[in-house]
Amino acid sequence: MEKNQIIGRESEIEQFERFCQSGKSEFIVVYGRRRVGKTFLIDRFFNQQYDFYMTGMYEATNQEQLTHFAQRMSIHTGKAYPTPANWMDAFFQLQLYLQTLSRKKRIVVFIDELPWFDTPYSRFLKAFELFWNNWASKQDNMKLVVCGSATSWMTNKLIASKGGLHNRITHAIHLRPFNLHETELFLKSRGFAIERRLIIEAYMILGGTPYYLDMLQKQFSVAQNIDNLLFESNAPLRNEFDFLFKSLFNDSEIYKKVITTLATKIKGLSKQEIIESAGIIDNGYLTEVLENLKKCDFIRCYNAFGKKERNKLYQLTDLYSLFYLRFVKDYSGGDKNHWEHLIDTTAPWRGYAYEQVCLHHIPQIKKKLGINGIETEISSWSCRPFTDADGTEWKGGQIDLLIDRKDGIINLCEMKYANGEYSITKDYDKQLRERRETFRHVTKTKKALHLTLVTTEGVAHNAYWNNIQSEATMDDLFEKE
């Protein structure tokens, strides 16, 4: 394996190396959202040296999939194979072929896009279960690797299987999008000479999805690249949103409806609020939809400070979806430089997108604060204006990131995007202190409350800076986790 071809993914590489040297059969599942680089990682690690490899075909019939299987068998064996009648016959053929390799030090079978084989009435999964349980799991040199982008299928039907594969998966690797550290390494490996502010600008639009980042061209600015990818006629990512959900979920429309609804309320919605806003019938299915979206890294689920589990909120955090729904979905103009012309008027979006980038990098924020070894709970808090029984008026407020620490401190985090040092004004200083005291009064907490700012280039050391207990900058977000 040429490790220098793989950017980041140190943990996943270490796991693969350990599994492959285990001296026993291994059933390894790699899952994660589409375009995140699952196949790339597996191909690079094994240098595409497989004893058998096949990939599912999107929306193909069962007969087409079986024909493809026969073709792959012919390629690997050098012999002509007829199309098997069913998957039971197919996996028996595979077993007979692999038995001829039984003296090899290691046998590697890689099945890509596994969910796409599971077409209606194909009984693919039953045959696959039999192949693993009756034979492959008993071969000490067998390394079976499968992956798929349909994360809900992978987790529900494979990892959490209640049938023949229950507890049969030896290892599951959830491959997530790049963080900023990995994104910087990725772009540098492709010859980009780009400062961190511009990397964050690209990240706020494309997220850490390697497939999208690989489309950036180093001879263009970030703004030019975004125009090329999203706003020009026939732009390659213009229709990605619809295809993304269609390829991931069978009932893609309800998933898109939930995502679109969450995009209208950037701070998040409760399940009941989603039902009311999206006009969804509450038949219990929404719980599964929300869980699948969370598994695919489209949304996050969190509790408001002091609230119970049933009061949890759901927030759209997929940066590509946020940008698409805000700027691309309803765009029908012909300006090939649309984003370059629009970018200077997008301050509110930049502020919110930067908040989301920060929420994607909480481990890095904790590292900067020196608390990465302390147990914490992450939440948010909001309160409407109210009047106490004694007539005292409170303005209420909202805090998007609370880091509640076991050492008796709560960091009240504010995330601010600025073109240079962020300067705290007299009014903002007053707002911060009032919000802190409102939080203390409403929650009755006895913990120390630290005001924390996460900015792009630091906080200006003016007359109001001393009221801030701690801070982090965009450079801190680029730290290795």
Percent of the residues in the chain that have a pLDDT greater than 90, as a whole number: 73
Residues 6+ apart with CB under 8 A from 444: none
pLDDT of residue 304 exceeding 60, the answer is: yes
- Residues 4 and 7: their CA atoms lie apart, in Å, by 7
Q: Which region among 194-208, 328-342, 401-415 has the lowest average model confidence (pLDDT)?
A: 328-342
**Do 318 and 353 form a contact (C-beta atoms < 8 A)?**
no
Question: For residue 127, what pLDDT is reported?
Answer: 96
pLDDT of residue 345 exceeding 50, the answer is: yes
Question: For residue 310, what pLDDT is reported?
Answer: 64
CATH class of 3-174: alpha beta
Average pLDDT over residues 304-321: 83
The partner residues of 471 in beta bridges, in order of sequence, read 453
Q: How many CB atoms lie within 10 A of CB 214?
A: 14
CA-CA distances (angstroms) from residue 155 to 118, 130, 132, 300? 14, 19, 18, 17
Find the distance separating the first CA and the last CA of the chain, reported in whole Å: 24
In tens, the pLDDT along 373-422 reads 999 999 889 888 999 988 888 988 889 899 999 999 999 999 999 999 99
**Do 87 and 129 form a contact (C-beta atoms < 8 A)?**
no
In tens, the pLDDT along 433-458 reads 999 999 999 999 999 999 999 999 99
Domain ranges of the chain: 3-174, 179-360, 362-477
In tens, the pLDDT along 273-298 reads 999 999 888 788 899 899 889 988 89
In tens, the pLDDT along 388-400 reads 988 888 988 889 8
In tens, the pLDDT along 144-179 reads 999 998 888 888 888 887 777 878 889 999 999 999
pLDDT of residue 306 exceeding 90, the answer is: no
In tens, the pLDDT along 239-254 reads 999 988 988 887 889 9
Average pLDDT over residues 118-131: 95
Mean per-residue pLDDT over the chain, rounded: 92
pLDDT-derived band of residue 309, with 50, 70 and 90 as boundaries?
low
Question: For residue 282, what pLDDT is reported?
Answer: 78
Ordered DSSP codes for 78-105: SS--PPPSSHHHHHHHHHHHHHTTTTSS
- Residues 115 and 96: their CA atoms lie apart, in Å, by 24
**Do 268 and 313 form a contact (C-beta atoms < 8 A)?**
yes
In tens, the pLDDT along 70-108 reads 999 999 999 999 999 999 999 999 999 999 997 778 999
pLDDT-derived band of residue 268, with 50, 70 and 90 as boundaries?
confident
pLDDT of residue 208 exceeding 50, the answer is: yes
Question: For residue 1, what pLDDT is reported?
Answer: 41
- Residues 183 and 200: their CA atoms lie apart, in Å, by 9
Residues 6+ apart with CB under 8 A from 401: 355, 358, 359, 362, 378, 380, 411, 413, 415, 454
Nearest to 438 by CA among 379, 389, 392, 391: 392
Question: For residue 2, what pLDDT is reported?
Answer: 47
Fold of 362-477: Trna Endonuclease; Chain: A, domain 1 (3.40.1350)
